[in-house]
Amino acid sequence: MKAFVLDAYAKGAALRLTDRPDPQAGPRDVLVRIHAAGLNQLDGKIRDGAFRPLLPYKPPLVLGHDLAGVVEAVGSAVTRFAVGDRVYGRPRDGRIGTLAERIAVDQDDLAPMPRGLSMTEAASLPLVGLTAWQALVGLADLQPGQKVMIHAGSGGFGSIAIQLAKALGATVATTTGPANSAMVRDLGADIVIDYRTERFEDRLSGYDLVICGQDGDALARSVQVLRPGGRLISISGPPTVAFARRQGLNWVMQQVMRVLSLGIRRKARARGIHYDFLFMRADGDQLARLTALVGTGAIRPVIDRVLPFAQTNEALAYLDTGRARGKVVVTLQPDP
């Protein structure tokens, strides 16, 4: 099969298109012929080497965390899917590799594709949708009437998180540039802050939740908009000791995480705020619950650019600019 391979960690490194052996389905695996693959900032961070302490992949490896496709074979213990099913999902850590023509995925990481969506639309959803679900529902238990701020609302994660927060009954504030203000309002944002000319902490206060995918200054300033007892969730870092323990990292790495997160944890604690780092996990059951929201129209895919598989490096380079409105997707096969 054709696949894009990362030969060595390097910032902005180009992936190499090559032939790889077709994967084999284990007893619990579903072999999927991939029709479309969504790209995420996580792909770029792994390529750059930023996540080596957390995800110790050994190049050469195939990148890619989002897929939509058709089941070609199933393992002997698979009960949830059959050959010919249209599926989508985010393979679990250690088994990524959707920038390829085929992949073997544990059945628990997949869900039936939402009806009415194209392969391209479905491939844009799994990672960002699961991240939003695990932040808003899992960690925050967001309730109707609560107030949430979502940074960078026009990006891949933000565009889905806004819609999910509104579906949960929250008031939503977000940051974006002036060119994207109409877009995020259309997605449901109640308050839109131009990050170029306004400081969000001057406009917002008493919020229950902030979700931040940015590092440094924006994360530190976010504590100022939260009420005592509020929650700050970062999806980009710094990681915490609790996260390191959940990942099974050794004592040395736990202490590294403790030091890295010390500054933001102190700021949060001084204001009576809970700080969490979220590194999303694959979960087909949660994805199926998101599918139901797609079916009702509460969540719709937001796609900036679709490129053919051969232009995967160009697609990643565009994603690296940080200007994508929604997701960037590459296509391998036409819709069946």
pLDDT band at residue 15 using 50, 70 and 90 as cut-offs? very high
> Quick check: 286 pLDDT over 90?
yes
Mean pLDDT of 18-23: 98
Domain ranges of the chain: 2-125+302-331, 128-277
- In this prediction, residue 127 carries a pLDDT of 98
- In this prediction, residue 234 carries a pLDDT of 97
> Quick check: 315 pLDDT over 90?
yes
pLDDT band at residue 55 using 50, 70 and 90 as cut-offs? confident
Query: What top-level class would CATH report for the domain 128-277?
Result: alpha beta
pLDDT band at residue 289 using 50, 70 and 90 as cut-offs? very high
> Quick check: 196 pLDDT over 80?
yes
> Quick check: 154 pLDDT over 90?
yes
- In this prediction, residue 158 carries a pLDDT of 98
DSSP label at residue 136: I
pLDDT tens by residue, 83-136: 999 999 999 999 999 999 999 999 999 999 999 999 999 999 999 999 999 999
Burial call 41-71: b when 16+ CB within 10 Å, e when fewer: bbbbbbbebbbebbeebeeebbbbbbbbbbb
CA distance linking residue 334 with residue 244, whole number of Å: 41
pTM of the predicted model as reported, rounded to 2 decimal places: 0.97
CA distance linking residue 88 with residue 103, whole number of Å: 12
Share of the chain above pLDDT 90, in %: 93
- In this prediction, residue 246 carries a pLDDT of 84
- In this prediction, residue 237 carries a pLDDT of 86
Torsion over CA: 176, 172, 241, 41 (sign): negative
Residues 2-125+302-331, CATH architecture: Alpha-Beta Complex (3.90)
- In this prediction, residue 83 carries a pLDDT of 98
Mean pLDDT of 295-305: 97
CA distance linking residue 279 with residue 238, whole number of Å: 11
Q: Strand 2-6's sheet: what is its strand order?
A: 16-19, 2-6, 61-62
pLDDT band at residue 233 using 50, 70 and 90 as cut-offs? very high
Other C-beta atoms within 10 Å of 157: how many?
26
Mean pLDDT of 159-165: 98
CA distance linking residue 77 with residue 44, whole number of Å: 34
